[in-house]
Structure 1
Amino acid sequence: MTQLPVLVDVADGVARITLNRPDRGNALNQAMADALLEAALRTANDGGVRCVVLTGAGRMFCVGGDVTDFAGNSAGIGAFLQRLAGTLHQAMTVFASMNKPMICLVNGPAAGAGLSMAISGDIVLADPSAHFTAAYLGIGLTPDGGMTWLLPRLVGLRQAQDIILTNRRVEANEAAAIGLVTRVVEENALAREGSELATRLASGAVASMGAARKLLQESFASGLASQMDRELTAIAFAGESAEGREGVRAFLERRPPAFRNDP
């Protein structure tokens, strides 16, 4: 029986996407990239999905690209890498632009494209066993998966230069200290804390979360005045929305808002 390279489970408004090549450290090959893009498109466009969770099967989150495949396609490596990275980039773009939050649960080491995927969530929880390595320059390649965009924004340019150029390993606690991940959870608590967080986000004002994540993405390319213009447009729209009306009504009635029931 063929093992699916990516698993997708949807329940109670939460889509759990699992990289599923544990015997290969969840190394990214073309089949996995294709499946990840399909999963991204499916969950981003499913109105019943209110939160997306990305994690890895087994002891690793993702060790990066499958270098064995690189070697096997050495005659046409440029075209091979362009297709592989291009597919990954499409998936990452869908995740980044969807109107719902994304959580990454880093269950173990993340390297190369695995690092790019691991830090792409709005909230990133890491197991104590997790560690992070850029890895690319160790095999004479350059970063992909959005790493050179994400890293400087999360940890600053100096830290990003150090992590990428020296190829050093960042342990879980340091990753939390420098802002690479949101926090490190206690041992054996990742699945439970991730599930609780996903449930909480899925019951929240998801449309407004989607607007907020877009504002955050735009902020580094905006001046203060133009960013406040965007905020003005967004809050006016949110105030007119079913979520905004329910949130205000619930606050005044001193009850929890029922965002899940909004269209």
Structure 2
Amino acid sequence: MRSFELIDAVELVDGVLQLTVASAAAGTAMDAVLVSACTEALRALGTDVGAVLLTGSGPNFCAGGNLQNFSESDDRGAYLHEMADGLHDFVRALAASPVPVVAAVQGWAAGAGMSLVCSADIAIGGPSTTMRSAYPRVGLSPDGGITWLLPRIVGAGRAREILLTDTVIGAEEAVRLGLLSRTVPDDEIRSEALRVARSFIDGPRATYASMRRLLAQSPDAPLHEQLDAERDGIAAAANSRTGREGVDAFVAKRKPDFRSVN
């Protein structure tokens, strides 16, 4: 794992790579420099990382792009093209992560912030958590992968309604729709998300990576192709160090030591 100058944005603690996607200094708007540092960190993942935690600093997870900076640009189209490129590199890196991605979603997750929540495997929120695409409000079309991710979470029809009507989604509705995994008290969001992330550290990392690949391809794969992929995956796992340790531990009635084979 390489060192990073932006330690406030990227921090490795006890096997969890903690990525801060928005800064309180900018009203928890997304910061291109922070996002770039987070992308670099994901691309440099090593065996010392067992999970990724996405969080924002301040009262909100991420309030979307910095419209103040955008409005001051001489060429707004070029500005947003560059910003979207950087954001989409980050989304691609999250999708390619071999380890689970957990999000601590406090306060608002709007615009690209909502897109990043949709990119997480597990999202922990609280009573104050609120989501909104926010794009119609400012006359812009979506980015961050939300038009691909959201329909796969809530269904195509509901995704159209949420995006076109700029629906404000509270915490209970977000859980019902599957945007949030669950909620805890607001002051426990980060600690619970960190606890969940840490729970993956000593687990079967090869298994998690295989699960993420299978789940990612399943919405577009015919059943027969998915069955073949599952067959090939479990057969490969059976001869892997992870699979051997898991099965041998089960037969021996002992706790598996996946850390030794990760």
TM-score by length of 2: 0.94
Partner of 2:40: 38
- CA displacement at 1:6 relative to structure 2: 5.3
- CA displacement at 1:40 relative to structure 2: 2.3
Identity of aligned residues (%): 38
Partner of 2:193: 194
Query: Compared with structure 1, are the counterparts of its residues 4 and 128 closer, same or farther at alpha carbon in structure 2 (3 Å cutoff)?
Result: farther
Q: How does 1:136-151 map to 2 (within 5 A)?
A: 136-151=135-150
Partner of 1:261: 260
- State how far apart, in whole Å, the 2-side matches of 1:146 and 1:126 are: 21
1:13 maps to amino acid: G
Deviations 1:10-31 (A, max 9, x none): 1222111123511323212432
Q: Is the 8 A contact 1:4 1:20 kept in 2?
A: no
Partner of 1:47: 47
Q: How does 1:53-92 map to 2 (within 5 A)?
A: 53-73=53-73, 75-92=74-91
Query: Compared with structure 1, are the counterparts of its residues 114 and 137 closer, same or farther at alpha carbon in structure 2 (3 Å cutoff)?
Result: same
Deviations 1:157-189 (A, max 9, x none): 122111111112100111001111111112322
Partner of 1:113: 112
Q: Report whether the alignment pairs 1:233 with 2:235.
A: no
Unaligned runs of 5+ residues in structure 2 are none
- CA displacement at 1:38 relative to structure 2: 1.9
SS in 2 for 1:125: strand
- State how far apart, in whole Å, the 2-side matches of 1:32 and 1:191 are: 19
Query: Compared with structure 1, are the counterparts of its residues 134 and 6 closer, same or farther at alpha carbon in structure 2 (3 Å cutoff)?
Result: farther
1:201 maps to amino acid: F
Partner of 2:11: 9
- CA displacement at 1:55 relative to structure 2: 0.7
- State how far apart, in whole Å, the 2-side matches of 1:77 and 1:29 are: 16
- State how far apart, in whole Å, the 1-side matches of 2:8 and 2:101 are: 17
Unaligned runs of 5+ residues in structure 1 are none
SS in 1 for 2:195: helix
Partner of 2:100: 101
Residues matched between the structures, number = 258
- CA displacement at 1:4 relative to structure 2: 4.7
